[in-house]
């Protein structure tokens, strides 16, 4: 048993036990307390005590109290789930425990603030709902982005790229890529609302359900068969909510399909980068190949980080931890920035808005050389390089 697993005395309360089993849907029932999950929790990499996942599963089985802040430190990175020999749905159990903690008023204030912001302004960043389409100003004037109406594809931008000025170039790049591939798409503009990731992570099932149904109704109006998301967190959140009547995919998977179908062609960027696999993309959606296929087609070599693909190390932002106050200590993003410095990469790429924000902080903090970029903006560069080559060769 690891130190993190040293358990406090257990006091079982029957009523609480009923509520915990209901909220976790019995997800931990097959856990046999081996502790492999605790041993795989990455917190020791930043000199913090790993989460006692084994202990949390015990609490899921018995309904005992006293999980508090420990529960909300979880990054939902799924490293523990990937190592569990019994296939326990640890994320379901932790989600259920958070629901009970929220009912008992144990959710951290920082998450409650984000939750109120979603309630009042449809986004967790305390920004006006009416400014949500500000990213459209980053799109070149000769492109008339379809907003609303019906289309085969709905591109769901998400809260963070809609509002963060350093990320608004990502949806702007995405619509240019979709236009180049002649895709019949639409976006929701300022009608778009939060996917509910932070609401789900806080443990507020009723409001999450309400948001999820609101999104389903908005999506239905577009008649789209496929919804593509900028963030893998949005994609997974939609999968967990109401039936959307449409397939949800992350943009890397969708663009890789366009590439395979010959609808997208890139020029040669001839550079070496490294790629941080977002946990939700590589472990949650098993989409390890799509970003690499896209980069290979753009003539970009990937010098891999020390932990990559399905073995990726979390950037530190998942599970509501984007709203966690930093204490100036070591952070996961610092480790990733240093790992990037150990490669020959000119740029540190990723494909998730949370990862861009955390990694960018890490690069600045440790003074790493490779700047952080979001993959879609690099693909737009490759698209433009291809157009330029065509023009030089006398193509149209
Ligand atoms: S959740 Fe899985 S890995 Fe963790 S203690 Fe239970 S059986 Fe072992
Ligand atoms: S999901 Fe990640 S951070 Fe959370 S308990 Fe599992 S390994 Fe630790």
Which pLDDT value is given to residue 122?
A: 96
pLDDT of residue 106: 84
* Ligand 1 atom with least separation from CA of 87: 2
Q: Edge to edge, what strands does the sheet with 185-186 contain?
A: 185-186, 153-156, 226-229, 247-250
Q: What is the pLDDT of residue 69?
A: 74
Q: How many domains are there within the chain?
A: 3
Co-location of 238 and 270 in the same domain: no
Q: Is residue 7 part of a domain?
A: no
Looking at the fold, whether 249 and 271 belong to one and the same domain comes out as no
Helices (H), ranges, the chain: 14-24, 36-40, 53-62, 68-73, 79-83, 90-103, 109-121, 159-163, 169-180, 197-202, 205-222, 232-240, 251-260, 279, 289-297, 332-341, 353-366, 375-392
228 and 89 in a single domain? The answer is no
- What pLDDT is stored for residue 5 in this prediction? 60
H/E stretch holding 185 reads strand 185-186
My answer on whether 140 and 234 are in the same domain is: yes
Domain boundary among 53, 70, 104: 104
pLDDT at 324: 75
Residue 3 lies in a domain: no
Task: Clarify whether residues 378 and 272 are in a common domain.
Answer: yes
Mean pLDDT, to the nearest integer, of 157-185? Answer: 98
Residue 267 located in a structural domain: yes
Ligand 2 site-directed mutation target among 46, 79, 236, 331, most atoms within 8 Å of CB:
79
**Can you tell me whether residue 156 is helix, strand or coil?**
strand
Domain hosting residue 93, numbered range: 14-104
Confidence of residue 357 (pLDDT cuts 50, 70, 90): very high
Name the closest-CA residue to atom 2, ligand 1. Answer: 84
* Ligand nearest to the Cα of 36, by number: 1
pLDDT for res 329: 82
Residues 115 and 252 in one domain: yes
CB atoms within 10 A of CB 280: 27
C-alpha to C-alpha distance for 314 and 293, rounded to whole angstroms: 22
Q: Is residue 203 part of a domain?
A: yes
Same domain, 87 and 133: no
3-state secondary structure of 299: coil
Q: What is the mean pLDDT of residues 198-216?
A: 94
Q: Are 291 and 352 in contact (CB under 8 A)?
A: no
Q: Does the residue 5 lie in any domain?
A: no
pLDDT in tens, 83-122: 999 999 999 999 988 998 898 888 888 888 899 999 999 9
Ligand 2 binding pocket, CB closer than 6 Å:
40-42, 51, 53, 74-80
Specify whether 45 is located in the same domain as 62: yes
181 inside domain = yes
pTM, two decimals, is 0.93
Question: Is pLDDT above 80 for 21?
Answer: no
pLDDT of residue 1: 52
pLDDT value at residue 396: 47
Residue whose CA lies nearest to ligand 2 atom number 4: 74
Contact yes or no for 366/388 (Cβ under 8 A): no
Higher pLDDT, 286 or 17: 286
Pair (127, 70) in one structural domain: no
Q: Measured in angstroms, how far is the CA atom of residue 94 from the centroid of ligand 1?
A: 13
Indicate whether 4 belongs to any domain: no
Are 147 and 243 in a shared domain? yes
Cα separation, 54 vs 80, in Å, equals 10
Q: What's the gap in Å between 5 CA and the centre of ligand 2?
A: 14
Is the pLDDT at 66 greater than 80, yes or no?
A: no
- DSSP tag of 93: H
Final residue of a domain: which of 104, 119, 144?
A: 104
Here the CATH number for the domain that contains residue 225 is 3.40.50
């Amino acid at each position: 048993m690891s130190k993190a697993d040293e358990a406090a005395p257990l006091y079982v309360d029957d009523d609480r036990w009923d509520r915990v089993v209901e909220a976790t849907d019995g997800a931990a029932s097959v856990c046999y307390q081996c502790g492999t999950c605790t041993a795989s929790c990455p917190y020791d990499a930043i000199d913090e005590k790993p989460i006692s996942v084994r202990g949390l599963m015990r609490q899921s089985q018995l309904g005992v109290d006293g999980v508090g802040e420990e529960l909300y430190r979880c990054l939902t990175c799924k490293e523990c789930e990937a190592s569990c020999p019994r296939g326990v749905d640890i994320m379901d159990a932790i989600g259920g425990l958070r629901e009970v903690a929220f009912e008992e008023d144990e959710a951290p204030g920082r998450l409650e603030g984000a939750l109120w912001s979603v309630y009042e302004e449809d986004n967790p960043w305390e920004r006006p709902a009416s400014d949500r389409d500000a990213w459209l100003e980053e799109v070149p004037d000769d492109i008339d982005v379809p907003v609303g109406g019906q289309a085969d594809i709905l591109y769901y931008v998400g809260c963070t790229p809609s509002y963060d000025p350093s990320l608004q170039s990502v949806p702007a790049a995405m619509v240019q890529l979709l236009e180049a591939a002649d895709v019949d798409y639409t976006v929701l503009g300022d009608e778009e609302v939060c996917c509910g990731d932070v609401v789900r992570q806080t443990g507020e099932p009723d409001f999450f359900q309400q948001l999820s149904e609101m999104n389903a109704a908005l999506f239905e109006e577009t008649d789209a068969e496929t919804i593509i998301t900028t963030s893998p967190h949005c994609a997974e959140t939609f999968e967990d909510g109401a039936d959307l009547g449409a397939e949800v995919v992350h943009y890397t998977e969708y663009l890789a399909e366009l590439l395979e179908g010959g609808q997208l062609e890139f020029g040669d960027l001839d550079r070496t980068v490294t790629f941080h696999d977002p946990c939700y993309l590589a472990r949650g959606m098993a989409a390890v190949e799509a970003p690499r296929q896209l980069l290979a087609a753009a003539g970009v070599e990937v010098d891999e980080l020390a932990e990559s693909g399905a073995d990726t190390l979390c950037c530190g932002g998942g599970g509501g931890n984007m709203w966690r106050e930093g204490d100036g200590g070591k952070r996961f993003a610092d480790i990733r920035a240093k790992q990037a410095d150990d490669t020959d990469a000119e740029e540190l790429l990723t494909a998730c808005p949370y990862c861009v924000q955390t990694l960018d902080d890490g690069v600045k903090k440790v003074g790493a050389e490779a700047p952080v970029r979001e993959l879609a903006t690099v693909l737009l560069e490759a698209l433009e390089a291809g157009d330029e080559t065509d023009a030089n060769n006398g193509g149209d």
